Structure 1
Amino acid sequence: MDIRDIARLSGYSVGTVSRVLNDHPGVSDRARERVLAVVREVGYEPNTNARHLKTRSRASFAIMVKGMQNLLFNDIIEKAEGLFAEADEEVRVHFVDEDADEVARAVHLDRIRHPKGFLFLGGDPSNFREGFGQIEAPCVLLTNTAEDWGLKGLSSFSTDDVEAAGSVIDHLWECGHRRIGVLGGNRKVSEVSEHRLAGVVRAFESHGAHFDVDRWYEPCRFSMGAGYEAAMRLLERADDLTAIFAFGDVIALGALRAATDRGLRVPLDISLVGFDGVDVSQYSVPRLTTVRQDAGLLARRGVESLIAAARGEGAGAVHESVPFRLLRRESVLSLAPASATADVCAKGERS
């Protein structure tokens, strides 16, 4: 079995297969997934020559990014690359589609590139449970918690998504909002989305109310375009909403445009809250109220933990929750009497 057989079985050219096996850019996600599926089916492994063995000890770290348009991940990548450089370590960034199998891609890279370790940005728990045991290098997961996944050797650093989402609902509630729509994520493949939605539901219950998931929740990918389309669907279905909570700032920015196109003014006609606290959120009009995840701290804890594990200095898997802040800006309007909530909905920050 050689590369020509993989090309024949996958239906792609030898050149395309070669680029996939060597993890080169310029290959579509569809082609990459098909070639890797054939590689797994037949158990193909590229030949290891002397040159590869010589350079194996000098392998770089790998950052596996799930999703192409997550602005928070861009912030973490930039900070992580700087931290690896400070530690005199090389790093390569690999993007996989939001719906692709990031662990299968890492398994492939582990076999052909032998990186010192993997830093995952986002991840599907089902993919980890199915394929993580095939990865030999140390691994750290950021923005998801793997504490309950039952996987030895996988550390994780994340925001408490349940608590953070609950803080958004509490803030909107204090500002007089009761009909709150929610945008973002895919509960079938995203544990982060499930946790944030659970925080919404729990916060409603704490206020003695019921959150109507079927009517007030609209899933979507993490992109402005997807946020726009999802907001359009949500507002068409529930035109009596007074506020929208988006599970990502990038989704919220798309929703802001959707509201405008429907003739709604933010926040005069409908309030809007995002999640992540990326830099662009403070330059939208109006400035976006959002939950700020600490990208710098997430990157630092993840990189330090991964390098320590690769150097044999780690003390086993670590799972930590990184603090968040609710940034109260201009996109939320108070519907309650001014005397009761003027200070709550004003521009500012709350930990």
Structure 2
Amino acid sequence: MISMKELAQHCGVSVATVSKALNDQSDIGESTKIKVKKAAEKFGYFPNAAARSLKTNKSYNIGVLFVDEANSGLTHEYFAAVLEGFKVEAEKQGYDITFINSQIGKKKVSYYEHCKYRNVDGVVIACVNFDSPEVVELMTGNIPVITVDHLHENCSSVLSDNAEGIKTLLEHVYEKGHRKIAYIHGQSSTAVTKTRVTSYYRFIENHNLDIPDDYAVEANYLDVSQASEATAKLLDRKDPPTCILYPDDTALIGGLNEIRARNMSVPEDISIAGYDGSRVSQFLNPLLTTIRQDTAAIGRRAAEKLISTIENPKTTYTEQIIVEGDLLVGESVGFAYDLK
């Protein structure tokens, strides 16, 4: 890697001109900028991080706050994929990533204090307890923040289109002739669940379906055991559903195990559908019908918006960015009139 002085010598300009060209300053010609930038890319020139920070008063470091209730960490397929999309875009724009926690060494600190200690320019928050006082402190502080799958008036957010996703899934099931559709959903306290459950009830209302209230059963996201218990509760009813929707593709495995333990088959005896479009959904037998969330786009849009807020604070406004998913039609939802 060459120095700025060597880059200037190669281009036949001063060090000051190289600096101005790389920082898009307006007092040098466009042709000179292009020449310098092409040479910098060719020879792999990168400005010294410490010098760049002093010049711009930015650390070029973004904090990531990610603490899920299941303590699955980066094995959480959905959020791991979202954060990978975020990381790729942030690094493309010259930013590094630091995970935020509640301690520095052995000293207990708040998330906000940790962000200040690490001198991050902004923070992305995903899969936490958003009602926690420490998280609220961070969202209402003076550090730019973007949230994933959560709305807060003080910061921008990127959300998967959960309402449309459930609606699309229900429309597919309905077209297959199902009218007795149960929904095992995630924790009721989360914004994602609230949106999905509302969409479920709206569909029922709009299609004049006579579905018992207890066809909606709670089971934690990614919890195979709870999904299995919820499935048993639904199948033990005098009027069991003909189709069951699950909170995610992983939890669905618990339901599938319970169904098979009763010597029932999918979709011959009952239909099932998942959510997320995870890798496991495409390996199950039968092939799973599910909603695939565009995790790469969610992560990328979050990084773009946060960096825009960091770099252009006076002209960037708070907004909610919705990212659509798409229906993956598998073999787990059959026609209702074919049921045994």
TM (norm. structure 2) is 0.71
Structure 1 partner of 2:44: none
- After superposition, what is the alpha-carbon deviation per residue over 1:105-148, rounded to whole angstroms, capped at 9, x for unaligned? 6334324333221112235554489535553211111233x2xx
Structure 1 partner of 2:196: 196
CA 1:230/1:108 → structure 2, altered by over 3 Å: closer, same or farther?
Answer: farther
CA contact (8 A) 1:84 1:303 kept: yes
Give matches, 1:149-228, under 5 Å.
149=152, 151-152=153-154, 154-187=155-188, 189-213=189-213, 215-225=214-224, 226-228=226-228
CA 1:264/1:85 → structure 2, altered by over 3 Å: closer, same or farther?
Answer: same
Deviates more, 1:134-143 or 1:235-244: 235-244
- After superposition, what is the alpha-carbon deviation per residue over 1:194-224, rounded to whole angstroms, capped at 9, x for unaligned? 11111111111111113323x2111121114
Structure 2 partner of 1:263: 263
Q: Indicate whether 1:79 and 2:80 are aligned.
A: no
CA 1:307/1:126 → structure 2, altered by over 3 Å: closer, same or farther?
Answer: same
One-letter amino acid of the structure 2 residue matched with residue 202 of structure 1:
R
CA 1:301/1:268 → structure 2, altered by over 3 Å: closer, same or farther?
Answer: same
CA contact (8 A) 2:63 2:115 kept: no
Structure 2 partner of 1:23: none
CA 1:83/1:190 → structure 2, altered by over 3 Å: closer, same or farther?
Answer: same
Structure 1 partner of 2:334: 333
Structure 1 partner of 2:273: 273
Secondary structure of the 2:186 match is coil
- After superposition, what is the alpha-carbon deviation per residue over 1:29-58, rounded to whole angstroms, capped at 9, x for unaligned? xxxxxxxxxxxxxxxxxxxxxxxx99x953
Structure 2 partner of 1:321: 322
Matched pairs, number: 271
CA contact (8 A) 2:293 2:325 kept: yes
Secondary structure of the 1:275 match is coil
- After superposition, what is the alpha-carbon deviation per residue over 1:292-348, rounded to whole angstroms, capped at 9, x for unaligned? 1111111111011111212235512121211221111111011248xxxxxxxxxxx
Larger Rg: 2
Q: What is the Cα deviation at residue 91 of structure 1? A: 0.8
Match of 1:122 among 113, 123, 127: 127
Distance 1:237 1:109 in 2: 51
One-letter amino acid of the structure 2 residue matched with residue 186 of structure 1:
Q
CA contact (8 A) 1:110 1:135 kept: no
One-letter amino acid of the structure 2 residue matched with residue 114 of structure 1:
N
CA contact (8 A) 1:249 1:275 kept: yes
Secondary structure of the 1:211 match is coil
Structure 1 partner of 2:245: 245
Distance 2:222 2:110 in 1: 22
CA contact (8 A) 2:180 2:241 kept: yes
- After superposition, what is the alpha-carbon deviation per residue over 1:134-164, rounded to whole angstroms, capped at 9, x for unaligned? 53211111233x2xx4x23x11111232222
Structure 2 partner of 1:90: 96
Match of 1:142 among 130, 142, 148: 148
One-letter amino acid of the structure 1 residue matched with residue 96 of structure 2:
E
Secondary structure of the 1:231 match is helix
Secondary structure of the 1:72 match is helix
Distance 1:303 1:269 in 2: 45
Give matches, 1:59-70, under 5 Å.
60-67=61-68, 68-69=71-72, 70=76
CA 1:132/1:332 → structure 2, altered by over 3 Å: closer, same or farther?
Answer: same
CA 1:330/1:312 → structure 2, altered by over 3 Å: closer, same or farther?
Answer: same
Distance 1:305 1:230 in 2: 39
Distance 2:244 2:100 in 1: 33
CA contact (8 A) 1:224 1:253 kept: no
Secondary structure of the 1:276 match is coil
State, as a whole percentage, how many aligned pairs show the same letter: 23
TM (norm. structure 1) is 0.69
CA contact (8 A) 1:201 1:211 kept: no
CA 1:186/1:238 → structure 2, altered by over 3 Å: closer, same or farther?
Answer: farther
